[in-house]
Structure 1
Amino acid sequence: MATEAGWSCDANDAVHVTIVQPGEKKPKTLSAFHPQFTYPIFGDDEQIFGYKGLIIRLRFAAHDLRPHVHISYDEKFKPVGDTAALDLLATLKPFVQPESFANLPDYEKAIQEDPDAKDFKPPGQFVLGYEADDRKYEIWAGSLGNPDVRKILDRMQVLVSLFIEAGTPLETDDPEWTLDRWTVYFVYEKVTPPTPTASAYSIVGYATTYRYWYYHRNQSETPTVKNDEFPPSEVDIAELPSRIRIAQFLILPSHHRAGHGTHLYTTIHAACIADPTVLELTVEDPNEQFDALRDTADYCLLRPEFLRHNVNLNPDPLGAYSEKKRPRNVPTSALIPTKLLHDIRKSFKIEPTQFAHVLEMYLLGQIPKSHRLAGGTNLARLLIKKYKADNENDRRYYWWRMLTKQRLFKKHKELLTELELMDRVEKLDATVQNVEEGYEITLEALEGRLPEVPTDEEAEENANEQASKAPTGSRDQRVKRKLTVMEDDDEEDESEAAKRPKI
């Protein structure tokens, strides 16, 4: 009688994702890779019971993502009582399109003889073309209300479960007005067609963005009571002030480390800047890899603007202070030009927490490395001298730490005040160090790769060029209350346990 021992296999190893295109006689594989995760499909243990030599092939046509599931194995466990091999077809059906279960000869024939492949163009509008490593790529964007956009997205949504941790496939059977809020960006490589009837497009990755209404009252207008119909009988969501949220963002593993993620993100950002109804770009629950990509892209975008306006930390915000009587609080505006920074953030449509991250990283980079923790500065001595340190860069570094601690404490005040006093101080210091180390990694990676600060004319030209890359017709700003930077006597009320907070 068969036993259960040895009948389980790793689902991540068993699943093979392949991108195929027509070959001389049958479809050939352009790229193949294993998933990062399979727990949404096969459970938290990511194990499949009941097979030996199991291979689950998820094939996708390179141009239109026509899917196919093919399962093969050497042996299958014979049921013993209530114990049976996992029903693979039933398990996969909720995650893939029904057309995926066509028989293999029919699928291969459809790939080889697709009459529409030669004239295929990605759905939506052409947005941007670029080159990387002597290969040509294009970005296209279209509304999810477009049936052709929706068809390709539906076919590839299983990849969300396989490559985006905690990712959720979109519901594409919603009403049209809801679907129109979604924009899908496709990244394709332009390739030499392998056969006379094959397509010249091969999928690289995609992103989805969601447009949602953002209340934004005109501060120059006096509020008045109106008897207008509410809600209005007809509302065009594209004309309302909105935020854009990046929901899904995926570059296939075979195209990693080639800059495609940066091109895709900056294209989405450029579309937001070009759309006067969009007030802010946000991201839904980014992971660490996306955080790093976003920080780098936003830093490269904002750094020239900061340099052009000579943004830097004031090393002496207290001015002529008295040794006997010093102010307990220093206004943030005495340290950095808060009004100017507010205007820059608004013009680049970056949400407040992300803008603070980029600003902190930039200000840290303006301090010579020898006066930062990464350069071996004597932190113990600095914490004794504080803002009275002899060197102005030491004072800048002191105030940088205070500015960063202020943000972390304000963001997590409720959690931090539950800790004992010494625990709060210790955890806040540890978190500031983690944040600084993360910034140092990015600054080091960018060292020597950034251009000099542009002139006003060049900056305007760059802004216009970015706006021109946005798709035609594509889709909080609130005034913060005055902030203060606390000195070390008050800093014992601050802390933060986690690593750099996510938005």
Structure 2
Amino acid sequence: MADQGDWSCDANDAVQLSVIQPGEQKPATLDIFHPQFTYPIFGDDEQIFGYKGLIIRLRFAAHDLRTHVHISYDEKFKAVGDAAATDLNKTLRDWVPEFAFAHLPEYENAVQKDENAKDFTPPGKLVHSYQSKERNYEIWAGSLADSAVRNLLARAQIFVPFFIEAGTPLVLDDPEWTLERWTVYFVYEKITPPTPTASQFSFVGYSTTYRWWFYPEQKGEKGVIQNGTFPYPEEIRFSTLPSRLRIAQFLILPPHQGSGHGSQLYNTIHKATIADDTVIELTVEDPNEAFDVLRDSADYHTLYPELIKQKININPNPYPAEAGKRRPRHVPTATLIPTQKLTEIRSQYKIAPTQFAHILEMFLLNQIPHPKRAAGGANMARLLTKKHKADDENERRYYWWRMLLKQRLYKRSRDILIQLDLPERIQKLDETASNVEEGYEALLTVFGAREKGKATAAPPPADSTPETDDSVRPDTHTMRPKRKYAVEDDEDEDEDEAERSEAAKRPKM
């Protein structure tokens, strides 16, 4: 018997995804691509046993994603005892609808002669139109309570296990009040129909968002017991309640990546968030590194004009003049940056606090001349010696910028850091701050090149994503605090043990 290893193949190579449209005689292929992941379907090893020359073709009609599965192979392993070839039809039926297993001629005939294709429009309503590389695109949005939106999403979700790591398809048979929480955005290209009966729409990608109820702060109001009727006489709808909006699934198909569609989709969702008075802020559910870069880029370019307009910068001289030689150890954050004004900007643009902190840190770093930063060759030894007493005000800004960054990182991972001895704690925090700063510098370089037209509108691929993780090395816990705190100057390092014990309760750099 042949070695069983000879009968295993890579599932990512065996699965072939394609988008098709009607042609002159039979459907023509627009794009062919392979999945990034197959472990949800075929196991962690992403291997398929029992076939040679295996090709699993999943075809999707360009306009409505009508799906078809076609499996071909050169040889199939003959079962020996418990060893048998993977039952591909059974495995795929958990992920692909039953109608996708129709005979190939039947499927091709349905796509080629679809009488409804020429009148097809994406479900929902048109919310944004744009051009990229001289091609026209549209973004449509609709509630998941709309059956047409649900039907199209059910087909689009087949891409989830292939491209969204740890992604889970949405349950589409929930009660209507739950479905109303969800809005689905579809990205389509407007194309010239290849035949008189073909559609002018070709699927590019989609995103799902849902409302997460937000409990508003009650300022100065006391609870009042009322004799109201039960049940409540008026129907309560999620769309009228204060909420956070959360992006769940977000996908642009591989053939369309690198053309700015992700940024267009994210910005469309963000603008809808700002326009909705019932939404408090926009958040993201478990973003990967590539999406983090996309989000940082979009938010940075959105906030940049406002931060420039408001003249946001670090105060290089936070100590009061009357302090004299004996300067206070604690510098309130509000004396370094205008915290109240920044809170107003964040609320206006409805960006989550942690994300806003990232964008603000990048912006403030970029306001410091490059030669005065570590990446530009700044004299770090001199900076560590002079600190806030540096002669150049931009060197002082850079010193305070690092203090603000370390403050934020410390608060995020305080529970981890306080378990370390003070020297190791300081070392870990400094290493993390340097890693984050390097990530910011890489992103600022990408943003600057993009502004000058030297880069595309899309973020770099995942394998070249700048490192911006706020993790304490070698821990994997992230360090992203949610509130602002006072910065403690680290000038007096000869404090006694009692002062050290007390200082451990506060951010100390």
TM-score, normalised relative to structure 1:
0.90
Q: Which residue of 2 aligns with 1:25?
A: 25
Aligned residue in 2 for 1:190: 190
Per the alignment, do residues 222 and 495 of structure 1 end up closer, same or farther by CA in structure 2, a change over 3 Å counting? closer
Partners of 1:481 and 1:10 lie apart in 2 by 47
Runs of 4+ residues deviating >4 angstroms? 321-324, 448-451, 489-496
Q: Does 1:307 align with 2:300?
A: no
Once the 2 structures are TM-superposed, how far is the Cα of residue 126 of structure 1 from its aligned partner? 0.5
Ranked by relative contact order (alpha carbons within 8 Å, sequence separation 6 or more), the top structure is 1
1:88, 1:58 → 2: CA distance?
A: 13
What is the 5 A alignment of 1:44-193? 44-193=44-193
1:341 aligns with 342
Q: Which moved more, 1:196-205 or 1:322-331?
A: 322-331
Residue matched to 1:382: 383
**d(CA) in 2 for partners of 1:272, 1:313:** 29
User: What are the equivalent positions in structure 2 for 1:315-464 lying under 5 Å apart?
Assistant: 315-320=316-321, 322=323, 325-447=326-448, 450=451
Deviations 1:39-94 (A, max 9, x none): 11111111111111111111110000001111111111111110111111111111
1:217 aligns with 2:217: yes
- Supply the AA of the counterpart residue of 1:362: F
1:405-438 Cα deviation digits (max 9, x unpaired): 1111111111222223232222211111111111
Match of 1:487 among 474, 486, 489: 489
Residues 323-367 of structure 1: CA deviation (Å, up to 9, x unaligned) = 753212110000000000000100100000000000000000000
SS of equivalent residue, structure 1 residue 68 = strand
Against the structure 1 CA distance between its residues 483 and 401, is the aligned structure 2 distance closer, same or farther, given a 3 Å change threshold?
A: same
Contact 1:27 1:112 in 2 (8 A): yes
Which residue of structure 2 aligns with residue 473 of structure 1? none
Deviation track 1:9-50 (CA, whole Å, cap 9, x = no partner) reads: 111111111001011111111001111111111111111111
CA distance in 2, matches of 1:248, 1:318: 47
Aligned to 2:119, the other structure's residue is in SS state coil
Contact 1:300/1:450 (8 A) holds in 2: no
CA distance in 2, matches of 1:229, 1:436: 57
CA distance in 2, matches of 1:83, 1:371: 66
Among all aligned residue pairs of Structure 1 and Structure 2, give the percentage whose two residues are the same amino acid.
62
Report the Cα offset of residue 3 of structure 1: 3.5
Q: Is the 8 A contact 1:96 1:157 kept in 2?
A: no
Seen in structure 2, the aligned counterparts of structure 1 residues 172 and 384 have a Cα distance that, compared at 3 Å, is same
**1:190-223 per-position Cα deviation (integer Å, ceiling 9, x unaligned):** 0010111000000010000011210013425444
Distance in 1, matches of 2:106 and 2:436, equals: 54
Question: Structure 1 pair 77/448, CA: closer, same or farther in 2 (3 Å)?
Answer: closer
Q: Give the Cα separation in 2 of the matches to 1:406 and 1:231.
A: 49
* Total equivalences in the alignment: 468
Match of 2:378, SS state, is: coil
Between the aligned partners of 2:23 and 2:125, the Cα distance in structure 1 is: 29
The answer to whether the 8 A contact 2:35-2:163 is kept is: yes
Do the aligned residues in 2 keep the contact of 1:58 with 1:70 (CA within 8 Å)?
yes
Question: Alpha carbons of 1:231 and 1:48: their partners in 2 closer, same or farther (altered >3 Å)?
Answer: farther
Amino acid at match of 1:116: N
Q: 323-332 vs 433-442, which deviates more?
A: 323-332
SS in 2 for 1:45: coil
How far apart are residue 225 of structure 1 and its match? Answer: 3.4
CA contact (8 A) 2:313 2:337 kept: yes
TM-superposed CA distance for 1:117, in Å, is: 0.2
CA contact (8 A) 1:190 1:200 kept: yes
TM-score normalised according to structure 2 size: 0.89
Matched, 1:36 2:10: no
Could you tell me whether the CA contact under 8 Å between 1:428 and 1:495 is conserved in 2? no
Letter of the structure 1 residue corresponding to residue 434 of structure 2: Q
Give the residue type in structure 2 aligned to 1:172.
L
Offset at residue 440 of structure 1 (A): 1.1
Secondary structure of 2:188 counterpart: strand
Any idea what SS the aligned residue of 1:184 has? strand
Q: What CA distance in whole angstroms lies between the structure 1 residues aligned with 2:63 and 2:253?
A: 14
Relative to structure 2, which stretch is displaced further, 2-11 or 185-194? 2-11
Unaligned runs of 5+ in 1: 452-479, 497-503
Q: Match for 1:59: what amino acid? A: R
Q: How does 1:228-243 map to 2 (within 5 A)?
A: 228=228, 232=232, 234-243=235-244
Q: Deviations over 1:165-200 (max 9, x none)?
A: 111111111111111111000000000101110000
1:371 maps to amino acid: K
**Superposition pairs of residues 241-320 of structure 1, within 5 angstroms:** 241-320=242-321
How far residue 402 of structure 1 moved from its aligned partner, in angstroms, is: 0.6
Is the 8 Å Cα contact of residues 244 and 272 (structure 1) preserved in structure 2?
yes
SS at structure 2 position matched to 1:488: coil
Q: Which amino acid aligns with 1:485?
A: V
State the match for 1:455 in structure 2.
Answer: none
Contact 2:142 2:184 in 1 (8 A): yes
Structure 2 gaps of 5+ residues are: 453-481, 494-502
Q: 1:438 to 1:385 in 2, by over 3 A?
A: same
Cα-Cα RMSD: 2.0
Query: Residues 20 and 29 of structure 1 are in contact (CA less than 8 Å); yes or no, is this contact kept in structure 2?
Result: yes
Distance of 1:77 and 1:321 partners within structure 2? 86
